[in-house]
Structure 1
């Protein structure tokens, strides 16, 4: 994947996309197949709500093209309920389920931490100790206190990617000096709904064109996400 940015969405099952992306007469059971004809990556968020099984991921593996890549979100029981405390074995189990189920189609493992997870040196050390470095780890913070040199330097030393987030309450930094570029567009000013202009997408594309990584649109509560993803593909010459 050298010097390649993969573009996709954080969901696909969306009735707002009928007639905009999905053909009007296409049955919903064929929506993901159609998505895979236009995108070569998908950010799987279902694992955030329910701990996955190997069989579930094997099913996703079997219905995707050869070179398709999944990014997988860590369950909220680990990141939001336990907040990484006393869950080393559970996280390792998650890594193993992802690897056994998705094999070579497994891309980054995304840990999204809640806004209440404010920076401390102890929490940073917890993150550094709990991760399995055999995998591509991406960490998304929702509190601005984590935007600091101590965190960035530690992540670079360990090969962890600091997630770039487009979020109403967070800095809009596009991070390019980590193992991967990993950008999540959540929607501004209205989270999950707002669309991004062509000018905004052009700016991002120009910043990351020589990098490798992933860009996902999570503004999928409307038609904005899919239209933005298609526009960024066009800008990036991927259509």
Structure 2
């Protein structure tokens, strides 16, 4: 979706296979093999979650590429075997195995890679920088974008923000969850995971909350910094256009596609 005053805003969900979505999001009787096709025609992005749990075949990435519209974008959740080690500096071989394991088959539909860390992972500046240094900038001619999802209170420090900015890595904003919300802008793109959809809300979130996140997404896309979010460091000056990725994840999961589609309508 083109933003006249900003970058691209991509909105979607985590994964596309979830049994309660049958009838709520997918038409009754829709074959499972057509669920991605259906979802990609109503959303503008999906975060691939299966990659977190294990390696996927290059043929699978190629199939997902073929089943989605030309302007669709996937983000990809990096495998836990690369982020759950005690010493992150030892993850180089695991990072390379994942990056060269078929991602390039997504071609221009490859969006950011989300490197998610355990809630018990404590911020060690030297070790974390060693990890960031190993993240490749491209694969087979495709530029790579990296985001880090940290979930321990120790990361709530300006030193972490400065380090992320130095390497151009986005800090995932995990909103409405039990984990710390770190909302500082650290990269030329924004990565948000909305994790608090609620039962009893027709669209997962109240209308005012959806309107607020749509407003924030448009501000980020235009290069501005929206008000009302906590910061650990000085705000970056208003910059050029940024791409924005927003995923409705977790929470009352059955409502997540409806919340995402509502956000898409609101940012148009």
User: Using a 3 Å threshold, how does the CA distance of structure 1 residues 97 and 155 change in structure 2: closer, same or farther?
Assistant: same
The root-mean-square deviation of aligned C-alpha atoms, in Å, is: 2.3
CA distance 1:204–1:176, shift in 2 (3 Å): farther
SS of equivalent to 1:97: coil
Deviation, 1:82, is 5.5
Partner of 2:179: 170
Pairing of 1:29-108 with structure 2 (within 5 A): 29-81=33-85, 84-108=88-112
The TM-score with structure 1 as length reference comes to 0.88
Distance across 1 between alignment mates of 2:215 and 2:50? 31
Whole-angstrom CA distance in 1 between matches of 2:114 and 2:28:
33
CA distance in 1, matches of 2:8, 2:110: 16
Unmatched 5+ stretches in structure 1: none
* Between structures 1 and 2, the one with greater helix share: 1
- Counterparts in 2 of 1:110 and 1:5: CA distance versus 1, 3 Å: same
Point out the more displaced range, 124-133 or 100-109.
124-133
Q: Is residue 257 of structure 2 the alignment partner of residue 216 of structure 1?
A: no
Secondary structure of 2:83's match?
A: helix
8 Å CA contact retained: 2:64, 2:106: yes
Q: How far apart are the structure 2 equivalents of 1:119 and 1:6?
A: 30
Partner of 2:107: helix, strand, or coil?
helix
Deviations 1:76-104 (A, max 9, x none): 11112466342202212211224432122
Q: 2:132 and 2:150 mapped to 1: Cα distance?
A: 14
- How many residue pairs get aligned? The number is 234
Q: Compute the displacement of 1:37 (Å).
A: 1.1
Q: CA deviation at 1:132?
A: 1.4
After TM superposition, list the pairs within 5 Å mapping 1:125-204 onto structure 2.
Answer: 125-134=129-138, 135-187=144-196, 195-204=204-213
Deviations 1:25-82 (A, max 9, x none): 3233322111111112110010110112322211211222212211111111111246
- Correspondence for 2:261: 230
> Which one is further off, 161-170 or 122-131?
122-131
